[in-house]
């Protein structure tokens, strides 16, 4: 994949922009603004300022000593995105895009959210910069993530429950895109994952790549070498592409994305167009997006970012699934061995690391991107554990 093809929005056969002409004009302008500012010294300085002073970066790279000893294999490190302000990796991308929105003079910002973390991060940034904020969220997800709904409203956002379809992330994206088509003249769509029409996948990757920029330097400082494996959960793909970005050209580093077994886009999907871009998509027998399910609302999506589709097809990254039972076990094990309650999304990556580490030699290193904290999920996990007893 060349820099030119990425600039044009393609990752091999995946990506592109399949939208109405009036929306394409808006996206072309957004792409021009992004490529103009992303390396502009003043923009970079302002972005880095907020990363440091508002998010609290850089986030630590923590050795999970007790967990490593219990597993008896490779050493496990955690990249602590859970310690960011608002509790996940989502704020990295939100701040980058909100600074673009500010330069455009936008006063109204819309976003979609599944688990609610992107919605919370967007509402946070809009509150800081004094912008109107509207968040679309599947009705089912508003029930599962009621605490995050309240957090968004507390921050001044208007949360719009979407009841159509399954009432989940895909349906929230549908409504956000419809809003943008109707209001593109005065609205900035702050998309939360590495999906959507160009330039969103490239833009989100750019702002999330701070994760691997830091972890690569931190790993060299702590171990004197790169990790053998980088593991991240995958829904739309933003935390994973950020965790992978600075290792893509390091062939000795395995890159592993972990999906829910009931939303296994990368292991079961086929090439198709969804939400204005081409990627691997889970389709039913009629060629429509297939219903999906994950106990982690942020992973409940029938598509995937186009670059992940390319990485799967090219063989540069590998993608595996875990079960809900394995995720719940990982959620509890990390809590008990490290005193860290992970987001259910992040627990997917932890679950796969629990299986992988014992199969590797003790001199090997696994880096797990801990994409968020689990405060939002504790009540849900409490109910699931009680029901299983």
Whether the CB-CB separation of 307 and 201 falls below 8 Å is answered with yes
Catalytic residue numbers read: 90, 112, 371
Sheet of 317-322, strand order: 61-63, 75-80, 365-370, 229-233, 254-260, 317-322
Residues 6+ apart with CB under 8 A from 369: 79, 81, 89, 211, 215, 230, 231, 232, 233, 239, 240, 242, 243, 346, 349
Q: Which residue has the tokens 């969103």?
A: 200
Whether the CB-CB separation of 1 and 7 falls below 8 Å is answered with no
φ, ψ of residue 198 in degrees (nearest 5): -55, 135
Residues 6+ apart with CB under 8 A from 11: 1, 5, 201, 306, 307, 309, 310, 311
Nearest-CA neighbor of 110 among 8, 225, 187, 219? Answer: 187
Whether the CB-CB separation of 180 and 26 falls below 8 Å is answered with yes
Distance of alpha carbon 371 from alpha carbon 165, whole angstroms: 28
φ, ψ of residue 318 in degrees (nearest 5): -120, 150
Q: What is the dihedral of CA 44, 45, 51, 53, to 10 degrees?
A: -170
Q: What is the dihedral of CA 237, 95, 378, 165, to 10 degrees?
A: -50
Distance of alpha carbon 193 from alpha carbon 118, whole angstroms: 9
Q: Which residue has the tokens 């409504």?
A: 175
Could you tell me where the DSSP H helices lie in the chain? 3-7, 21-37, 41-50, 65-71, 90-104, 117-129, 139-144, 146-154, 169-183, 200-208, 210-223, 238-244, 265-268, 306-314, 324-338, 344-356, 378-388
């Amino acid at each position: 994949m060349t820099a030119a093809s990425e600039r044009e929005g393609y990752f091999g056969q995946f990506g592109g922009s399949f939208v109405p002409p009036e929306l394409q004009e808006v996206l072309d302008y957004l792409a021009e603004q992004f490529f103009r500012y992303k390396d502009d010294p003043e923009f970079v300085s302002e972005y880095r300022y907020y990363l440091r002073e508002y998010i609290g970066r850089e986030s630590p790279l923590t050795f999970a000593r007790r967990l490593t000893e219990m597993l008896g294999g490779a050493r496990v490190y955690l990249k602590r995105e859970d310690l960011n302000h608002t509790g996940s990796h989502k704020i990295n991308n939100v701040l980058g895009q909100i600074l673009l929105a500010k330069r455009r003079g936008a006063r109204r910002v819309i976003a979609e959210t599944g688990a609610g973390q992107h919605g919370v991060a967007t509402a946070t940034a809009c509150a800081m910069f004094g912008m109107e904020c509207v968040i679309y969220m599947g009705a089912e997800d508003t029930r599962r993530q009621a605490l995050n709904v309240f957090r968004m409203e507390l921050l001044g956002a208007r949360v719009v429950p979407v009841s159509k379809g399954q009432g989940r992330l895909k349906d929230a994206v549908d409504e956000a895109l419809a809003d943008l088509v109707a209001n593109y003249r005065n609205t900035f769509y702050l998309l939360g994952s590495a999906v959507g029409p160009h330039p969103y996948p490239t833009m989100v990757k750019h702002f999330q790549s701070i994760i691997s920029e830091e972890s690569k330097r931190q790993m060299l400082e702590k171990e004197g070498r790169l990790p053998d494996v980088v593991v991240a959960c995958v829904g739309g793909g933003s935390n994973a592409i950020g965790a992978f970005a600075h290792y893509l050209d390091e062939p000795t580093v395995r890159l592993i994305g972990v999906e829910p077994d009931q939303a296994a886009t990368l292991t079961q999907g086929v090439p198709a167009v969804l939400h204005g871009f081409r990627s691997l998509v889970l389709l039913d027998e009629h060629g429509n997006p297939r219903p999906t399910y994950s106990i982690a609302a942020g992973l409940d999506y029938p598509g995937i970012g186009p670059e992940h589709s390319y990485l799967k097809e090219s063989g540069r990254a590998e993608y595996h699934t875990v079960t809900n039972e394995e995720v719940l076990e990982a959620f509890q094990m990390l809590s008990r061995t490290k005193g860290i309650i992970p987001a259910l999304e992040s627990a997917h990556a932890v679950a796969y690391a629990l299986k992988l580490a014992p199969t590797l030699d003790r001199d090997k290193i696994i880096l797990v991107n801990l994409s968020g904290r689990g405060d939002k999920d504790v009540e849900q996990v409490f109910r699931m554990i009680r029901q299983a007893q």
